[in-house]
Protein backbone atom coordinates (compact mmCIF):
# COMPACT_ATOMS: atom_id res chain seq x y z
CA UNK A 1 0.00 0.00 0.00
CA UNK A 2 1.16 3.50 -0.80
CA UNK A 3 2.06 5.84 2.06
CA UNK A 4 -0.71 8.33 2.82
CA UNK A 5 -0.75 11.81 1.42
CA UNK A 6 -1.13 14.58 3.96
CA UNK A 7 -2.44 18.11 3.66
CA UNK A 8 0.32 20.58 4.61
CA UNK A 9 -1.92 22.18 7.24
CA UNK A 10 -1.86 18.92 9.23
CA UNK A 11 1.29 20.18 10.98
CA UNK A 12 -0.82 22.89 12.66
CA UNK A 13 -3.05 20.12 14.01
CA UNK A 14 -0.07 18.19 15.33
CA UNK A 15 1.36 21.29 17.04
CA UNK A 16 -2.03 21.95 18.65
CA UNK A 17 -2.23 18.32 19.85
CA UNK A 18 1.33 18.48 21.20
CA UNK A 19 0.33 21.47 23.35
CA UNK A 20 -2.92 19.95 24.62
CA UNK A 21 -1.82 16.33 25.07
CA UNK A 22 1.17 16.31 27.38
CA UNK A 23 2.52 12.91 26.38
CA UNK A 24 5.88 13.24 24.58
CA UNK A 25 5.94 9.54 23.72
CA UNK A 26 2.91 10.16 21.49
CA UNK A 27 3.94 13.47 19.95
CA UNK A 28 7.72 13.94 20.00
CA UNK A 29 9.04 17.41 19.23
CA UNK A 30 11.04 18.04 16.13
CA UNK A 31 11.14 19.81 12.83
CA UNK A 32 10.36 18.48 9.42
CA UNK A 33 11.83 19.09 6.01
CA UNK A 34 9.82 18.58 2.83
CA UNK A 35 12.00 15.65 1.76
CA UNK A 36 11.06 13.48 4.73
CA UNK A 37 7.59 14.78 5.57
CA UNK A 38 5.89 11.37 5.40
CA UNK A 39 8.71 9.69 7.34
CA UNK A 40 8.46 12.33 10.05
CA UNK A 41 4.69 12.06 10.11
CA UNK A 42 4.93 8.30 10.57
CA UNK A 43 7.64 8.67 13.24
CA UNK A 44 4.94 9.86 15.68
CA UNK A 45 3.69 6.66 17.39
CA UNK A 46 0.14 8.02 17.52
CA UNK A 47 0.05 8.93 13.83
CA UNK A 48 1.74 5.70 12.78
CA UNK A 49 -0.82 3.67 14.74
CA UNK A 50 -3.68 5.47 13.04
CA UNK A 51 -2.24 5.19 9.53
CA UNK A 52 -1.30 1.53 9.96
CA UNK A 53 -4.76 0.64 11.28
CA UNK A 54 -6.52 2.52 8.49
CA UNK A 55 -4.30 1.08 5.76
CA UNK A 56 -4.71 -2.47 7.06
CA UNK A 57 -8.50 -2.20 7.10
CA UNK A 58 -8.53 -0.44 3.72
CA UNK A 59 -6.41 -3.17 2.13
CA UNK A 60 -8.90 -5.88 3.11
CA UNK A 61 -12.00 -3.78 2.40
CA UNK A 62 -13.09 -3.47 6.03
CA UNK A 63 -12.63 0.25 6.64
CA UNK A 64 -16.31 0.64 7.61
CA UNK A 65 -15.66 -1.56 10.69
CA UNK A 66 -13.50 1.10 12.35
CA UNK A 67 -14.36 4.40 10.64
CA UNK A 68 -17.55 6.18 9.70
CA UNK A 69 -18.35 7.71 6.35
CA UNK A 70 -18.85 11.42 6.67
CA UNK A 71 -22.48 12.50 6.28
CA UNK A 72 -21.88 14.86 3.35
CA UNK A 73 -19.75 13.66 0.44
CA UNK A 74 -18.90 16.62 -1.83
CA UNK A 75 -15.95 14.90 -3.55
CA UNK A 76 -17.62 11.70 -4.79
CA UNK A 77 -17.57 13.02 -8.35
CA UNK A 78 -13.76 13.22 -8.02
CA UNK A 79 -13.64 9.66 -6.65
CA UNK A 80 -12.84 10.63 -3.03
CA UNK A 81 -14.88 9.37 -0.07
CA UNK A 82 -14.61 11.23 3.25
CA UNK A 83 -14.22 9.21 6.45
CA UNK A 84 -13.94 10.06 10.14
CA UNK A 85 -11.91 7.90 12.53
CA UNK A 86 -12.18 8.16 16.31
CA UNK A 87 -9.10 7.27 18.34
CA UNK A 88 -8.52 7.05 22.10
CA UNK A 89 -5.59 9.13 23.26
CA UNK A 90 -6.08 8.89 27.02
CA UNK A 91 -7.88 6.77 29.59
CA UNK A 92 -11.27 8.26 28.76
CA UNK A 93 -11.56 6.28 25.52
CA UNK A 94 -12.26 7.22 21.96
CA UNK A 95 -15.46 9.09 22.80
CA UNK A 96 -13.23 11.90 24.17
CA UNK A 97 -10.17 11.27 22.00
CA UNK A 98 -9.12 12.54 18.60
CA UNK A 99 -10.93 12.66 15.31
CA UNK A 100 -9.08 12.13 12.06
CA UNK A 101 -10.77 13.24 8.86
CA UNK A 102 -9.34 11.48 5.82
CA UNK A 103 -10.31 10.74 2.25
CA UNK A 104 -9.97 7.51 0.32
CA UNK A 105 -9.82 6.99 -3.43
CA UNK A 106 -9.35 3.31 -4.31
CA UNK A 107 -6.08 2.50 -2.50
CA UNK A 108 -4.98 6.12 -1.97
CA UNK A 109 -5.46 7.94 1.32
CA UNK A 110 -5.34 11.67 2.07
CA UNK A 111 -5.24 12.72 5.71
CA UNK A 112 -6.65 16.22 5.97
CA UNK A 113 -7.56 17.12 9.56
CA UNK A 114 -6.91 15.87 13.11
CA UNK A 115 -8.58 17.41 16.13
CA UNK A 116 -9.59 16.64 19.69
CA UNK A 117 -13.25 15.87 20.28
CA UNK A 118 -13.55 18.87 22.60
CA UNK A 119 -12.17 21.18 19.89
CA UNK A 120 -14.71 20.06 17.30
CA UNK A 121 -17.99 21.03 18.93
CA UNK A 122 -18.96 23.13 15.91
CA UNK A 123 -19.34 20.50 13.18
CA UNK A 124 -19.85 23.14 10.47
CA UNK A 125 -16.55 24.85 11.36
CA UNK A 126 -14.76 21.49 11.29
CA UNK A 127 -16.29 20.72 7.91
CA UNK A 128 -15.37 24.13 6.48
CA UNK A 129 -11.76 23.70 7.64
CA UNK A 130 -11.18 20.25 6.20
CA UNK A 131 -13.00 21.09 2.97
CA UNK A 132 -10.78 24.13 2.51
CA UNK A 133 -7.68 22.00 3.06
CA UNK A 134 -8.83 19.28 0.66
CA UNK A 135 -9.80 21.74 -2.06
CA UNK A 136 -6.46 23.54 -1.80
CA UNK A 137 -4.48 20.28 -1.81
CA UNK A 138 -6.40 18.65 -4.68
CA UNK A 139 -6.91 21.91 -6.61
CA UNK A 140 -10.67 21.40 -6.94
What tens digit of pLDDT does each residue of 2-61 get? 788 999 898 888 888 878 876 666 665 655 555 677 777 887 888 888 999 999 999 999
Q: Which domain does 97 fall in, by range?
A: 5-138
Please give the model's pTM, rounded to 2 decimal places: 0.87
**Total structural domains in the chain?**
1
Note the pLDDT tens digit of each residue in 118-139.
Answer: 887 788 899 999 999 999 999 9
CB 71 within 8 A of CB 79: no
CA distance 21 to 33: 24
Amino acid sequence: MLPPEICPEIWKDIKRLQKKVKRPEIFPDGTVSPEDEIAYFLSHPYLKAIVTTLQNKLSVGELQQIADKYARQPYLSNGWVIWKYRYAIDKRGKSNGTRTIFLVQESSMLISFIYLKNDGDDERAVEAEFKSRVENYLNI
